Amino acid sequence: EVQLLQSGGGLVQPGGSLRLSCGASGFTFSNHAMNWLRQTPGKGLEWVSSISGSGADTSYADSVRGRCSISRDNSKNTVDLQMNSLRVDDTAVYYCAKGSQWLRGGWLDPWGQGTLVSVSS
Amino acid sequence: EIVLSQSPATLSLSPGERASLSCRASQSIRIFLAWYQQRPGQAPRLLIYDASNRATGIPARFSGSGSGTDFTLTISSLEPEDFAVYYCQQRSAWPQTFGQGTKLEIK
């Protein structure tokens, strides 16, 4: 069974940093791009970042570019999202999701359980 | 950025009825559209990809249709577990984007 288990998240002050992690099992991890998305009541679902199966190609939404960094460890089947200079509007539930192909842009299936990031003073 | 507009925002139906949910794209996305279901407190789940292909394990009562700018998710006979929020997503152009969702509620 394909599973994604997220860790990290929590409460952080504006300007602070957080690292989200997602552990994968049940599939050949290096064969699939991995993605981070977030969800808020106001903005709905928003793609945040993607990384290719090898880790060589990464992409970011304009809203987080320069403040976030995605990385993966194919020996440990994990993908991380390092978030810096956090802002109040980064507050959201963050999900990792497996891509259906090696490069970015495939369908998202499955998703992790989600983790809440709350940015507040 | 491609904008996806879903309608209606809320759909009130009874178990056993047929549901039709709409997703309209701001420009042609060919068939590069997916549908996701999100139940309360859960992560989204892929139902349909490439407009009309059911994902693994998805019941046959779920079907998708459309191409270009207009797409439909149909649930042929609603089961109690189908009452949830449904999102469409496009991957035709980067960045991939989502619709704002349709809430399917019990009448």
Convert A56-90 to b/e letters by CB count within 10 Å (16 or more is b): eebbbbebbeeebbbebeeeebbbbbebeebeeeb
Does residue A57 have a pLDDT over 90?
yes
Asked if B93 is an interface residue toward chain A (Cβ–Cβ < 8 A), one would say no
In the structure, what pLDDT confidence band is assigned to residue A18 with cuts at 50, 70 and 90?
Answer: very high
In the structure, what pLDDT confidence band is assigned to residue A42 with cuts at 50, 70 and 90?
Answer: confident
Using an 8 Å CB-CB cutoff, list chain A residues near B34: 107-108
User: Cα separation of B30 and B32, whole Å?
Assistant: 6
Contact state of B91 with A46 under an 8 Å Cβ cutoff: no
Contact indicator for B49, B34 with CB cutoff of 8 Å: yes
Does residue B40 have a pLDDT over 90?
yes
Dig out the tokens for A64 from the structure: 């987080």
- Could you tell me which residues are beta bridge partners of residue A59? A50
Question: What mean pLDDT do residues B98-102 have?
Answer: 98
User: Cα separation of A24 and B81, whole Å?
Assistant: 27
pLDDT more than 90, % of chain B: 99
pLDDT more than 70, % of chain A: 100
Using an 8 Å CB-CB cutoff, list chain A residues near B44: 45, 95, 108, 111
